[in-house]
Structure 1
Amino acid sequence: MGEQRQRFTQEFKEQTVKYIQEQTKSVADIAEELNIPKKTLHNWLTKYRKFENEPLTSVETLRQQEKRIKEQEQELADLKEEIAILKKAMHIFSKERN
């Protein structure tokens, strides 16, 4: 007869991922410690990993970030142009008049 598959709750998986992130041990060591296959832990990491101060990435979030980056790049280009104009104006007005 085959072995019974272990079933874990979502809460257990999330807590395990948090535990993995807090440890300095390798995933292989933790897998051995918890008696859970290493591949399973890697799957859980992929699914439940959370980064502090980093929102989960979605397509909409990426679109918003790309739009914001384009706007900032345009603003930067405009500011560089303004600086160049101001430098030219300073040069013109700082010349001595005879």
Structure 2
Amino acid sequence: MGEQRQRYNEEFKKQTVKYVQEQTKSVADICEELNIPKSTLNQWIAQYRQFDQEAVNHPEKIRKLEQTLKENEVENRRKEREIEDLKEELAILKKALHIFSKEKN
């Protein structure tokens, strides 16, 4: 007949996912190390993953953070230009209001 299925408690699952997030090893390597099927570990990761526990030094995460930083810088420059344009428009409107609000003799 079939093999007996291994049962894991919630704490073990959470600790395993935390271990995966802290390691620089691949998921396949960790599965082999812990003798857990890859599909099972992927399900646990989807269920228990906490992003604040991931190391920042992963190249993929660094690339994503750098890309986000560049996008934010571009957006900030666009907003600063827009603010300067609006300030200029406001100054022009104030001058126009001053000119048109003078009494005529």
Unaligned 5+ runs, structure 2? 54-78, 99-105
Show CA shifts across 1:13-37 (max 9, x none): 0000000000000000000000000
Map of 2:38 onto structure 1: 38
TM-score when normalising by structure 1: 0.58
The alpha-carbon deviation at position 83 of structure 1 amounts to 2.6
Q: Give the AA of the match of 1:28.
A: A
The amino acid that maps onto 1:4 is Q
In structure 2, C-alpha distance between the alignment counterparts of 1:13 and 1:84, rounded to whole Å: 59
Q: What pairs up with 1:71-86 in 2 under 5 angstroms?
A: 80=83, 83-86=87-90
Q: Which deviations, in whole Å up to 9, do the C-alpha atoms of 1:60-97 show, x marking residues without a partner?
A: xxxxxxxxxxxxxxxx8xx858535323247668xxxx
Aligned partners of 1:87 and 1:38: how far apart in 2?
64
Instruction: Return 5+ residue gaps in structure 1 as ranges.
Output: 54-75, 94-98
Amino acid paired to 1:83 = K
User: Which residue is 1:8 aligned to?
Assistant: 8
Q: Aligned residue for 1:48?
A: 48
Corresponding letter in the other structure for 1:88: I
What code does the residue aligned with 1:85 have?
E
Q: Which runs of 4+ in 1 moved over 3 A?
A: 79-82, 89-93
In structure 1, what is the Cα distance between the partners aligned to 2:47 and 2:11?
13
Amino acid at match of 1:21: Q
Q: Which is richer in helix?
A: 2
TM, length-normalised to structure 2:
0.55
Query: Of the two structures, which has the highest relative contact order with CA contacts closer than 8 Å and spacing of 6 or more?
Result: 2
